[in-house]
Amino acid sequence: MEDELLIFCDHLFKKYPGTDWVFKDASLTIFRNQFLFLLGSSGSGKTTFIKIISGQEDYDRGKIIIQNNDFRKLKRKNLHLWRRSLGIVFQDFRLLWKQTVKENIALPLIILGCSKNEIDMRVKAVLKLVQLEDKEDVVCKYLSGGEQQRVAIGRAIVHSPVLLLADEPTGNLDDKHTKNILELFYTLHARGISILIATHDKRLPIAIPDCRTVMIKDKRFIDVIPVPKSRTS
């Protein structure tokens, strides 16, 4: 189970129109049930990588294999199914401002077509996990930055995704909440969810035992902390 291939990026090239390469011949293998930190300085391409994986951005050259399917083919037909198995925490949250915390968190479940009972149950559980129980009926635009971030995290995990992609999920949180969120991620990981956290905060990996850390350097991915052989490509 642990060594099942989830995402395989092979010699990936990516550039935005009018800019230098963001990725140049970058390869990365992500296995199922990994807890992976993607480190990199600002502007190194962490967000870009998450966008590529979630099908929001195209790539120029190279190959991406997702669950044994070529990503370009997958994108043409079943992108929405792949996206349903993802939980994404955006760097800028991307919540629906005019709707309540509860409505925002319930969205993935509505899209999956869950029953009202199940939605209520799961949203309640998630609100507890991200410690927003007392804010469930507050409209999102009135929340603080940290609270919005936690709503975004709630929305990303409520449907038990296969892979959680979190872009700077602790960027707006104080130490106490950062610790809570990392613990939450760790619990989710223990329940079998693969996790990829993009961050520039080098201290985060220390808090998670047994995680893998990959750094974006010179437009490539480099493993920085040695991990058992079976987990690397």
Ligand X SMILES: Nc1ncnc2c1ncn2[C@@H]1O[C@H](COP(=O)(O)OP(=O)(O)OP(=O)(O)O)[C@@H](O)[C@H]1O
Q: Which positions lie near ligand X, rule CB under 6 A?
A: 16, 19, 22, 40, 42-48, 91, 200
Among 42, 68, 80, 230, binds other proteins (CB under 8 A): 80
Out of ligand X, other proteins, Mg ion, none, what residue 48 binds, judged by CB under 5 to 8 A for its kind, is ligand X
Could you say which of Mg ion, other proteins, ligand X, none residue 67 binds, taking C-beta under 5 to 8 angstroms by partner kind? none
Minimal distance in Å, beta carbon 229 to other proteins? Answer: 35
Which of Mg ion, other proteins, ligand X, none binds 83 (CB below 5-8 Å, type-dependent)?
other proteins
55 close to 75: Cβ distance less than 8 angstroms:
yes
CA distance 23 to 160: 30
**Which residues 89-108 are close enough to bind Mg ion by CB under 5 A?**
91
Q: Which does 144 bind (CB under 5 to 8 A by kind): other proteins, Mg ion, ligand X, none?
A: none
Pairing of strands 21-31, 5-15: antiparallel
* Sites for other proteins among residues 161-200 (CB under 8 A): none
Q: Which amino acid is at 85?
A: S
Q: Closest approach of Cβ 116 to other proteins, in Å?
A: 8
Going along 149-189, which residue ranges are E strands? 163-167
State yes or no: residue 178 binds Mg ion (CB under 5 A).
no
What is the number of other CB atoms lying within 10 angstroms of the CB of residue 111?
12
Please state, in angstroms and as integers, the Cα–Cα distance from residue 11 to each residue in 8, 60, 65, following that order.
Answer: 10, 10, 12
**CA-based torsion, 92, 96, 101, 103: positive or negative:** negative
Distance CA 14, CA 19 (A): 10
Binding other proteins (rule: CB under 8 A), the pick from 77, 94, 128, 141 is 94
**Kind of pairing, strands 212-217 and 35-39?**
parallel
Q: Which does 16 bind (CB under 5 to 8 A by kind): other proteins, Mg ion, ligand X, none?
A: ligand X
Taking the complex as a whole, the smallest distance from the CB of residue 100 to ligand X amounts, in Å, to 28
